[in-house]
Structures are given as C-alpha cells and as structure tokens.
Amino acid sequence: MISVQAIERLLAALEPESVDLIDDSAHHVGHVGARDGGGHYQLTVISPRFEGKSRLERHRMVYAALRPLMQREIHALALRTRTPGEP
C-alpha cells in the first residue's frame, strides 16, 4: 500500500491543505492492474493552487505530481480536487 506520506511528498508542490487517501484495492482483486501490483485508490486533495482551474486542469496537476507512482504502485485513481473554500 502507498503511504499518505509518500503521496503528500509528491503533492507538496501543490501546497495541499489536506490529503485523504482511501485504498480500494481489495474491491478489485483479480483485476489485471491489481494482479500486476498496482492499487486502486480514492484521493481527495484540497489546495489553494486549484483556484481558478477547471476540474480537468486540477486532475492533470495531480497526475503530473504523482507520475512516479502511476507506472506501478497506482493502477486506478479516483480524484476529488477542491480549493479550501469549496464544499
């Protein structure tokens, strides 16, 4: 399992106020990516750097930051990205 600390280190450039990681890998046992060692995660990131950015731009920012983990450790990632003022 990927640690929240590892995610937070990679997301540091986004200056997140909050990072919440949920491991859903157990729900995907037997799935091709899971068999190869990649996990399925839900990630919520709250950052002021998302201000004025579209959802697509925000997701691209997160994927760019997590690129080193996307090759093996992360197979699937459900993202929720918000600014501090968004519900």
Please give the chain's pLDDT, 87 residues, in tens: 677 788 889 999 999 999 999 988 766 565 555 555 578 899 999 999 999 999 999 999 999 999 999 878 888 899 999 999 999
Question: Residue with structure tokens 């990649």?
Answer: 38
Q: Which of 40, 84, 78, 86 is closest to 62 using CA atoms? A: 78
Fill in the DSSP letter of residue 45: E
Q: Which domains does the chain have, with CATH numbers?
A: 4-82 (3.30.300.90)
- Both tokens assigned to 3: 């640690």
Place of tokens 């799935």: 31
In whole angstroms, give the CA distance from residue 25 to residue 57.
Answer: 26
